[in-house]
Structure 1
Amino acid sequence: MRPRDFLELLLLAALWGGSFLFMRIAAPLFGPVPLIELRVGLAAAVLLPLLAWRGKLGQLRQHAAALVFVGITNSALPFVLYAWAALSVTAGFASIVNATAPLFAAWVGWVWLKHRLSPGTLVGLLVGVLGVIILVWGKASFRAGGSGWAVAACLAATLNYGVAANFTKRYLTGVDPMAIAAGSQFYAAVLLAPFAVWLWPDVNPGADAWLAVVLLAVGCTSVAYVMYFRLIAHIGPARAIAVTFLIPVFGMLWGAVFLSEQVTGNMLAGCAVILCGTGLATGVFRFPALTRAEKT
């Protein structure tokens, strides 16, 4: 990997880690649904002209049904769930749960598409579950004032990412990745618009909240998508997925620096175990015994 690609990978992780910070800032003032409407709407406004410049705007109509489904499962629903969870849990905590996305993708692929689970993937899934248990230990209270429902919302959001990843692989293989990115944001914005109007806050949020929205939409969504697809083209998807391991680092860092969030022992231990499980499930980490078992 060239130094330039590595720096771009770090910047991408910093942007995606920052999305949890900006949701934490803006969600209490806008509300989850209006915030995400602004996020996907502004992101679409940036991505659609880029897609038109590449002459592939027609793919939005050609693959409309599939892109609507991806817009729901990869953007509208998980973004709203994370924004709602941001009212109760820290940015660092949410970013760690987000790292389970490859685990959910493997599990959904096994259940839905009957993908074979290698011994390494199976062990990775079990280790990842252990990491989630460590992470939420003592936090998943569903009593009044507890954060149990927020934790469940984070996990449900990440499950949606797993569904979207498998759906995209099955039904949108060969479609320009920029069309998938732009189309999913556009259709998510269209679907959320009436709910956002209905739930729009009575008091207009201040300049800081609007700045967080712009940074979330433009930096953490549209620019991040473009960077991610560039990385896939330059270093391949197997290496680009390494961004998953860096996002929690930045999520915890930005939360601690800008919001004085506490990084607990449970978070560090859960993060380490989850990332270990993710590495095993995706093949980034390999143990000789598991590798031999896969070949037999």
Structure 2
Amino acid sequence: MKGFDIPERWRGLPLLVFASFLFALMALCARLLAGLLSVGQVVCGRFVVGLLFLAVYYPVMRRKPRFGRPTLWALRGIFGGASVYLYFYCIEQLAVGPAVLLNACWPIFGSILGFFFLDERVSGNLLGGLIAATVGAGLVIWGTALEMPTLSFGVGAGAGVLSAVFSGAAVVAMRALRNDTDAATVFLSFCAFGLLFGLPFALADWRPLTSYTVLVLVALGLTSAAAQMIFTYAMGYVTTAMGGVGSQLTPVFSWMLGAFLLAEPAAPLALLGAAVCVGGVLWGTGILGKLLAPAPKPSGRPST
């Protein structure tokens, strides 16, 4: 994305918010495919579209992949591929909102790993915002579960938590790579190793494709590719914890889309959680403080 002249004010957090919405659309597409295709097919579809996107991106931008640190580059893809498979499995087992919220716990693991491996500190507003955003996400999943008493969190919930662990590790690797590796090359690792991870599962449980499933798969792949490229680019301007705070908007967007488009329960407690989550994002990024800060007093000098 370096080929585009993105104004400084739109880098970092604004791009994270946009990427969060695109990730929510991707989760919605994955839910629409639940039961129609195997999880392995959905995973492979996502990464095939991503690779096709890169096949067009590199020639258009007149760029080539840059492999600065091959081991770290490969680990980013392996962690990411495992996370995506577990995430899609969780979406298949649960509703969109709860599944996305379990995966959204990745900032907890990412911040811990970022502290040990990147020497990143979590303090002040950022820590408070991360806690508030995570609590808000928890309220959303709690409220949704109360509206769906038959919802089983068993294996699906376990897959969601494990996807969060691998997501945290993948984001830390991505954050380290962004010091000397462009967003497209990082995304290439994600797609290549993610496809290799999902292919055995797809072949083991292959289901017939239809025009509908292919269309939804393409939509899933395109929203995923755009979201991942934007998210990877934005992570070059924020810390792992800041990225975690911003990405907590994905559960809110996912829950709203699930409620309006898939008729998933819209519980009052979930609405409260959404508000807390957004408040945590505003607090952690310092925007809330600026909004609540008193206006500067006039100097008292007459204008000339």
- How is 1:91-170 mapped onto 2 (pairs within 5 angstroms)? 91-137=96-142, 139=145, 146-170=152-176
2:77 pairs with one of 71, 75, 82:
71
The 3-state SS of whatever aligns with 1:20 is helix
**Which residue of the partner structure matches residue 189 of structure 2?**
183
Q: Mind listing any 5+ residue stretches in structure 2 that lack a counterpart?
A: 1-5, 291-304
Is residue 33 from structure 1 mapped to residue 49 from structure 2 by the alignment?
no
**Which residue of the partner structure matches residue 214 of structure 2?**
210
Q: Which moved more, 1:186-195 or 1:206-215?
A: 186-195
Q: Which moved more, 1:62-71 or 1:82-91?
A: 62-71
- How is 1:82-97 mapped onto 2 (pairs within 5 angstroms)? 82-97=87-102
Q: Could you tell me whether the CA contact under 8 Å between 2:47 and 2:191 is conserved in 1?
A: yes
**Which residue of the partner structure matches residue 174 of structure 1?**
180
- How is 1:25-64 mapped onto 2 (pairs within 5 angstroms)? 25-60=32-67, 63-64=69-70
Alpha carbons of structure 1 residues 145 and 252: separation in structure 2 relative to 1, 3 Å: closer
Q: Mind listing any 5+ residue stretches in structure 1 that lack a counterpart?
A: 288-296
2-structure distance, mates of 1:28, 1:284: 42
Q: Could you tell me whether the CA contact under 8 Å between 2:101 and 2:141 is conserved in 1?
A: no
How many pairs does the alignment contain? Answer: 277
Which letter does structure 1 place at the counterpart of 2:211?
A
The 3-state SS of whatever aligns with 2:180 is coil
Q: Which has the larger radius of gyration?
A: 2
The 3-state SS of whatever aligns with 1:29 is coil
Alpha-carbon offset, residue 22 of structure 1: 0.7
2-structure distance, mates of 1:125, 1:58: 34
Q: Could you tell me whether the CA contact under 8 Å between 2:17 and 2:247 is conserved in 1?
A: no
Alpha carbons of structure 1 residues 52 and 187: separation in structure 2 relative to 1, 3 Å: farther
- How is 1:251-262 mapped onto 2 (pairs within 5 angstroms)? 251-262=254-265
State TM-score, norm by structure 1.
0.75
Alpha carbons of structure 1 residues 269 and 250: separation in structure 2 relative to 1, 3 Å: same
Which letter does structure 2 place at the counterpart of 1:32?
V
Which letter does structure 1 place at the counterpart of 2:173?
F
The 3-state SS of whatever aligns with 1:59 is coil
Alpha-carbon offset, residue 16 of structure 1: 1.9
Alpha-carbon offset, residue 30 of structure 1: 1.2
Alpha carbons of structure 1 residues 48 and 84: separation in structure 2 relative to 1, 3 Å: same
1:270 pairs with one of 264, 273, 285:
273
Alpha carbons of structure 1 residues 131 and 85: separation in structure 2 relative to 1, 3 Å: same
Q: Which moved more, 1:242-251 or 1:256-265?
A: 242-251
State TM-score, norm by structure 2.
0.73
Q: Could you tell me whether the CA contact under 8 Å between 2:245 and 2:281 is conserved in 1?
A: no
